[in-house]
Structure 1
Amino acid sequence: MTDLYCDPGFEQLLAQHFSLATLEQQPGTVYGLWPDLTLAYMNPAWFRFARDNQGEPAISWQWQRGRAVTEALPDVLHPFYVELYLRGLEQQDDRPLEHAYECSSPEQYRRFSMTLHNLGYGAGLLIINFERQVAQHRRIPRQGDPRSYVDDRGYLVQCSHCRCYRHNQQKNHWDWIPTWLATPPDNLTQTLCPDCFNHYYSFTG
């Protein structure tokens, strides 16, 4: 392992709680954060996932250790994930926090979970992601006719979580448009549809 992908100080911190060799072999993305939410560790699967989802070489160039992970978050998700990370750092027992999320491709429905592990009194945070469900889409694919989806400001409004698009004439209707997922339009803006917000992004307790 090179210092590029794991801060030496974070490697020492990890060794008190996890086998680094095991994390390196995890099929899901694993990353570590310092308390200021800057990246301290990324496992090989971090880069494999980026490569398989058209994220490379930009991920390797732009997302090295020392970069704040919050800079990668869409504006609409930023407050939630900042609070989630901080809750993870404040966790007082050995039970990790868990958050489920969707990260589907045009071809597959993909649901993941992340577990957030406090590395001792808020010294750092380890996030482990794993697949919970991979299946064919049950959503009916729609054709992307901009006339039906462009809002009054000239934007196509996409849910940042399920990645469906809001129908302009039917405000409560969100459609799955794989062609726009594969090649995002330039006039794209993101929010959360009501179902995703209520199910995935509203804290309770």
Structure 2
Amino acid sequence: MRFDETQAATLEAILRWRRDVRHFRTDPVDEAVLAKLAEAMALAPSVGNARPWRVIRVEDAALRAAVRADFRRCDAEAASGYADEQGTAYRALKLAGLDAAPVQLAVFTHIDPAEGHGLGRRTMPETLRQSTAMAIHTLWLAARAANLGMGMVSILNPAEMERLFAVPKDWAFTAYLCLGHAEWDDDTPLLHRSGWQENAPTRWGLR
């Protein structure tokens, strides 16, 4: 299949306007939309077609509270590592949407799945985690195309997440995702708005 200029421009717009959303409305997301997002995630590439991502939709209030508690512990520890003006700037950032996001997903990577029969990962087993990352990015773009926001909560203890969700020993915690309708339509990235850091261009080196 060949894409025309309009389709290519649409893809560029989705890539350009994807955001790591931290502020959510609490109204629910239609289940039919969530089903389509799950289907989109299934389209992601993976090493040897192993499809190692394992996704848990977190509905239990006690589990959500435990995740928030771990985030607060990790966030306080992270804040202590910044000093002076940077520490003040860090504390001013809103780094999670855990209190409002109606849909929350805990994503794990099966680190030695039977699927794929080991193809492509014998010398680089990290490609399984990379495959899960690509599935998450695919979900992120599909959510943006559906006019939904998604944010990744990275300030968590992986071992604690694996314990909380009582996952098999060969599942490694990869990401905790918040999904829902963004609280506002301002597309300025949070880290740009706060002056934390601007984008740097990607440069391809030559050898």
Same topology, TM > 0.5 = no
TM range (shorter): under 0.3
Structure with a larger share of its residues in helix: 2
- TM-score under structure 2 normalisation? 0.25
- Larger relative contact order (Cα-Cα within 8 Å, sequence gap ≥ 6): 2
